Structure 1
């Protein structure tokens, strides 16, 4: 009997399994078909890309490289359109063969700039990936990946603007360079083209400019120093910042060690080796205001992001705030203020308080000898010239010009009684009695200043100084009142300018506009101003600072030379002497001292004030004298200096004093009333005592 098991009907479970098997088989067929299609597409795209690369390669090889970048002279202009400086195109250049260049310099350059130079074809894909990874990790553009060939292409044919189109052109030109020249030729062109700062293009010019020798004679230490400069000639030049230059030299030497070019012992010895730099030749004859010119270039490159090569030879026009007459006055005042042959140095910076425009800058006595700009030195203690910020804080916290403290040797305790501070007055001179704020400012009484800072809180004085643009490090301690924390003349001139401008601080400005060779505006200044103090408080502070130039004031000896209203403050430390002051039109800081810590004599300390006075009168010779404008919110009354009360008819001395409205004294002095004398007519006394200081000055002014 036949087996009928094959004819039995399938169960539902068996039918489901068979269906799934069929679906799986169908999917395998579909996947294989898709894979065949994708493989065909990929092969086609690969062939297309290969064909494109071959065609592109062939096309590039048939193209001529463009003419090299045509250098044009750039100009820096003063506020009247006169040329301050011309930046000559091309600079100093002398081409040499690779065999005439020290192997150390070649190795150092490759180590720091392009370690895979002999392995890539103009674009280093591995370097690009490495840089992208580093930048992604740090979320910033810390590492670039331009090869030497790309840098050469950029220097020869392109601008330095940061755009994708420029980068693409750079890559194309780099590929063409690699097709037309061998590696040795490219390296030779690069080393003869790159900019090393101070007008030196190429290694031969750089070796001569920095060390007075041929490029073939450079030692390992010298080569590592030079190889680090092109990354940022203004930042890494040893003439401008030796610390940055040495740090960069160490980085180059370490890179050479990592690549096995030199040993660690050789690197350490090279880093310790003293370098004999050739005195930098000055191009001061090409223009004037050399310290200001350097500052303008620094601002353009480091703060505004303008490429240094574009400034050096790109035909740009830089329009600045410098006033030629005021600059000439500053240079003459510094020249006349210190005897010939003296090693003492000086700095002067002048700013228009009404807009922050830098009008003059003298960073030292002789730019040809030393290019260090002392206007920005942050190692100078301002001494008593810092006190206005203590007293302004006091005025803002309720003290007045007649607030009194005792001037006598005093030991101050602070930090919850754990520390003491014992200041001294100059020459140990003390009144041994109570004095008011005006007297303390005029005579620069240190005891009064420390009493004041203890009363208002050192941390509040720091906050006031910060509002006025003083960013140098300060600690909230009692000695802050005496200017023991260094600041720069630049900061002081700007801060005092805010007092002159009714409490409005304008950010200092040197560059108004930068245009490229086609007249396209690359940068235009946008005025920035903040209200650092109220107009009333600034005006009362100004009135107090005028006493420095009055009888009994520390600058009274030069008051006869200044024939206009002026306010300011002297400052003297064992090493520094200052006069920082202002008129309604000009704020200036003068510093004198020595570059290295060296005690100044009393005669040397007395040179700051005459320089200031000479400068102010020269600078404003054609400007009619103006009084500081009186704002709303202040009142002037006559007071008795001995008591600080309103002066009565019997007071032997009467002094006009300006107060924030509402803080002036209301009680009359009765300390000098004669026995049995009748009270003065109150209406007449009030009329006389409260007569306007403004009217009094006008009568004096008109003679």
Structure 2
């Protein structure tokens, strides 16, 4: 039988048909596989990425008090708040086909593969902006094929989940520009001291060249090298039609002014207050360390930077240079709001970070106003008389307490509460707590804001239970507020990086004491700065009505006091309880307090302490304790709760057969009121 052979052409056509069918099926299969892969990648969530952002702490007037970033300074801003020239410059030099590709630039990729194969290494890169973002957000910088494959899949996911502008915005906020500056905003502030949206073309081209080698191309390290890189980028922008040749030449010729590198340590700016803020953020508000440092929080505080600077300057000037171990604490609050306006926790933060405004020390006689407030609400008046003489007190049946007056000085006569507070008479004070019972004084202190443990013993009258300057200051705020307590506030609000309010503090006033009793106490505390008062040595440095109380122990010196606008407390002493010389070292607390109060309020007119309804003023003869007449040689003006003032007139100085003529209280238009009417702030 004859075999008919198939013609070669027919065989070739059949083979070509089969191959074409196979090719079409393969392409269909590949397309289907790619589609499945894309659908899979689109359905998978991207890895969680925590973008570290700089937390900023602001003072009360909006100035930046500090930034928290621990070497990664990043302030995320939207793309529309970046200069268009900076965005264009970045695209021109990093990925000119960014707007056209889908995560990969195959032309650059092919060239990179060719070079790497020829050189047998992986040094030649072809990463697009999307790939760089994927690497920076989710991967390491290792040069391995495994990392490159994972980077490719992540880049596809980014392109599938975000628009080009969103990817570009993330990238521009992520890249490193050197000198701890991450992202366009931090870089603009670091190099030029301005926001990213305000950069010029020349500045934009300079910044865009840095990420290629942050230490190599930094204009702060090698200006000529950075300038050459700037020229390269301007040329790339011109080739891409982003700018004209004239614009390129003008930008290259522009003189750049860089931000001066600060040599000051950031801890020099209210460092103790900054630490106090950090403690509140983490321990009071429950914000963890990572979120606090890298969460891009905006923390708005109450600190007055002008007042803080004055406090630091006065402390530095007054404290003795030849005795660095003698320490100091100062805290000041606005009594109307409770806002902490200034805080000095020590002389040198670099030497000691211990914040002494929070340290527990014996307040001595600075505690007495708290006790006298309790007394005024329990039957005492400013004219209540008790004898100042050496006295032995017995308590708890068989325990004895023998207080002594400073310097062993006793009136050995009947004195009133005003005189006792003015001269800080210890015998009068202990007799008062003995009459009241120590527990009433403890309860009063707690209501006023003292949180430290207090022992209900007679010595409490002399401030033997330790409290912090901040606590005592808060108690004095309630006194000047006529019995309304206001908790100290250091943080007004905390916002997260998206502007959501995490914390918001508002002033809350709580009635804790009788307003009349509080006003009477404030009036008596003004006498501390009168002749023979314990604060008289600094009275000549004060040009406005003030009230307060000094306090001293063997190892502590205090002055806590106020005007209607400001309450401040100053403590001076040694950390290791070394004895304080009351004449030389103890005096410093008074001097710092007086200078701080006067300096802080110099631009505000003197303000009077208002008296509430239910208060009456009369002249008293201090010797007899009766209403003074025009014949009494040394009448004193006293204030009383209406109905508790004396009713009898002093007759000790009356001529024979003459009826007493009472002295009239002064006109309400006092010296300070008249002064306030013409006062003008200092220049």
Where do 5+ consecutive residues of structure 1 fail to align?
1-58, 93-155, 158-198, 200-281
Distance in 2 (CA, whole Å) between partners of 1:507 and 1:701 is: 30
Distance in 2 (CA, whole Å) between partners of 1:433 and 1:363 is: 42
Residue aligning to 2:306:
325
Residue aligning to 2:345:
363
Distance in 2 (CA, whole Å) between partners of 1:69 and 1:436 is: 67
Is the contact between residue 86 and residue 287 of structure 1 (CA under 8 Å) also seen in structure 2? Answer: no
Match of 1:572 among 540, 552, 557: 552
Match of 2:334 among 335, 352, 357: 352
Q: CA deviation at 1:696?
A: 7.1
Could you say what secondary structure the match of 1:402 adopts?
coil
Distance in 2 (CA, whole Å) between partners of 1:527 and 1:77 is: 19
Larger helix share, 1 or 2: 1
Give aligned pairs, total.
455
Residue aligning to 2:69:
88
Q: CA deviation at 1:305?
A: 1.2
Match of 2:354 among 346, 355, 372: 372
Residue aligning to 1:655:
636
Is the contact between residue 52 and residue 72 of structure 2 (CA under 8 Å) also seen in structure 1? Answer: no
Distance in 1 (CA, whole Å) between partners of 2:677 and 2:621 is: 27
Residue aligning to 2:379:
398
**Against the structure 1 CA distance between its residues 518 and 561, is the aligned structure 2 distance closer, same or farther, given a 3 Å change threshold?**
same
Match of 1:678 among 646, 657, 675: 657
Match of 2:664 among 674, 683, 689: 689
Match of 2:362 among 381, 394, 397: 381
Residue aligning to 2:59:
78
Q: CA deviation at 1:70?
A: 1.9
Q: CA deviation at 1:630?
A: 1.5
**Against the structure 1 CA distance between its residues 616 and 344, is the aligned structure 2 distance closer, same or farther, given a 3 Å change threshold?**
same
Does residue 477 in structure 1 map to residue 457 in structure 2?
yes
Match of 1:497 among 452, 477, 480: 477
Is the contact between residue 268 and residue 349 of structure 2 (CA under 8 Å) also seen in structure 1? Answer: no
Distance in 1 (CA, whole Å) between partners of 2:671 and 2:561 is: 24
After superposition, residues 258-337 of structure 1 pair within 5 angstroms as: 284-285=265-266, 288-337=269-318
Is the contact between residue 318 and residue 588 of structure 2 (CA under 8 Å) also seen in structure 1? Answer: yes
Residue aligning to 2:509:
529
Residue aligning to 1:29:
none
Q: What are the superposed Cα offsets for residues 69-98 of structure 1, whole Å, 9 maximum, x if unpaired?
A: 221111000110001001125459xxxxxx
Does residue 558 in structure 1 map to residue 538 in structure 2?
yes
Is the contact between residue 300 and residue 491 of structure 2 (CA under 8 Å) also seen in structure 1? Answer: yes
After superposition, residues 201-212 of structure 1 pair within 5 angstroms as: none
Distance in 2 (CA, whole Å) between partners of 1:408 and 1:493 is: 31
Is the contact between residue 351 and residue 359 of structure 1 (CA under 8 Å) also seen in structure 2? Answer: yes
Is the contact between residue 347 and residue 591 of structure 1 (CA under 8 Å) also seen in structure 2? Answer: yes
Q: CA deviation at 1:340?
A: 1.1
Could you say what secondary structure the match of 1:590 adopts?
strand
Q: What are the superposed Cα offsets for residues 372-397 of structure 1, whole Å, 9 maximum, x if unpaired?
A: 1000002x100000000111111111
After superposition, residues 132-211 of structure 1 pair within 5 angstroms as: none
Could you say what secondary structure the match of 1:604 adopts?
coil
Does residue 610 in structure 1 map to residue 591 in structure 2?
yes
Distance in 1 (CA, whole Å) between partners of 2:328 and 2:49 is: 45
Distance in 2 (CA, whole Å) between partners of 1:587 and 1:367 is: 24
**Against the structure 1 CA distance between its residues 420 and 364, is the aligned structure 2 distance closer, same or farther, given a 3 Å change threshold?**
same
**Against the structure 1 CA distance between its residues 297 and 700, is the aligned structure 2 distance closer, same or farther, given a 3 Å change threshold?**
closer
Residue aligning to 1:543:
523
Distance in 1 (CA, whole Å) between partners of 2:606 and 2:385 is: 33
Residue aligning to 1:591:
571
Is the contact between residue 284 and residue 368 of structure 1 (CA under 8 Å) also seen in structure 2? Answer: no
After superposition, residues 236-247 of structure 1 pair within 5 angstroms as: none
Residue aligning to 2:151:
none
Is the contact between residue 635 and residue 661 of structure 1 (CA under 8 Å) also seen in structure 2? Answer: yes
RMSD across aligned positions (CA) = 2.7
**Against the structure 1 CA distance between its residues 283 and 459, is the aligned structure 2 distance closer, same or farther, given a 3 Å change threshold?**
farther
Please, which moves more after superposition, 62-71 or 382-391?
62-71
Distance in 2 (CA, whole Å) between partners of 1:586 and 1:319 is: 21
Distance in 2 (CA, whole Å) between partners of 1:594 and 1:649 is: 51
The TM-score, its normalising length taken from structure 2, stands at 0.63
Q: CA deviation at 1:334?
A: 1.3
**Against the structure 1 CA distance between its residues 439 and 76, is the aligned structure 2 distance closer, same or farther, given a 3 Å change threshold?**
same
Distance in 2 (CA, whole Å) between partners of 1:316 and 1:372 is: 26
Distance in 1 (CA, whole Å) between partners of 2:496 and 2:622 is: 62
Residue aligning to 1:230:
none
Is the contact between residue 459 and residue 476 of structure 1 (CA under 8 Å) also seen in structure 2? Answer: yes
Could you say what secondary structure the match of 1:523 adopts?
strand
Residue aligning to 2:399:
419
Match of 1:407 among 363, 367, 388: 388
Is the contact between residue 636 and residue 692 of structure 1 (CA under 8 Å) also seen in structure 2? Answer: no
Could you say what secondary structure the match of 2:626 adopts?
coil
Could you say what secondary structure the match of 1:459 adopts?
helix
Distance in 2 (CA, whole Å) between partners of 1:648 and 1:547 is: 22
Is the contact between residue 637 and residue 692 of structure 1 (CA under 8 Å) also seen in structure 2? Answer: no
Q: What are the superposed Cα offsets for residues 471-507 of structure 1, whole Å, 9 maximum, x if unpaired?
A: 1111111100000000000001111011111211111
Q: CA deviation at 1:565?
A: 0.5
Q: What are the superposed Cα offsets for residues 193-232 of structure 1, whole Å, 9 maximum, x if unpaired?
A: xxxxxx9xxxxxxxxxxxxxxxxxxxxxxxxxxxxxxxxx
Distance in 1 (CA, whole Å) between partners of 2:624 and 2:336 is: 38
Q: What are the superposed Cα offsets for residues 225-281 of structure 1, whole Å, 9 maximum, x if unpaired?
A: xxxxxxxxxxxxxxxxxxxxxxxxxxxxxxxxxxxxxxxxxxxxxxxxxxxxxxxxx
**Against the structure 1 CA distance between its residues 574 and 474, is the aligned structure 2 distance closer, same or farther, given a 3 Å change threshold?**
same
Is the contact between residue 86 and residue 286 of structure 1 (CA under 8 Å) also seen in structure 2? Answer: no
Is the contact between residue 77 and residue 84 of structure 1 (CA under 8 Å) also seen in structure 2? Answer: yes
Distance in 1 (CA, whole Å) between partners of 2:645 and 2:652 is: 19
After superposition, residues 392-471 of structure 1 pair within 5 angstroms as: 392-415=373-396, 417-471=397-451
Residue aligning to 2:234:
none
Distance in 1 (CA, whole Å) between partners of 2:45 and 2:448 is: 58
Q: CA deviation at 1:314?
A: 1.2
Is the contact between residue 74 and residue 89 of structure 1 (CA under 8 Å) also seen in structure 2? Answer: no
**Against the structure 1 CA distance between its residues 405 and 517, is the aligned structure 2 distance closer, same or farther, given a 3 Å change threshold?**
same
Distance in 1 (CA, whole Å) between partners of 2:72 and 2:353 is: 19
Distance in 2 (CA, whole Å) between partners of 1:564 and 1:626 is: 7
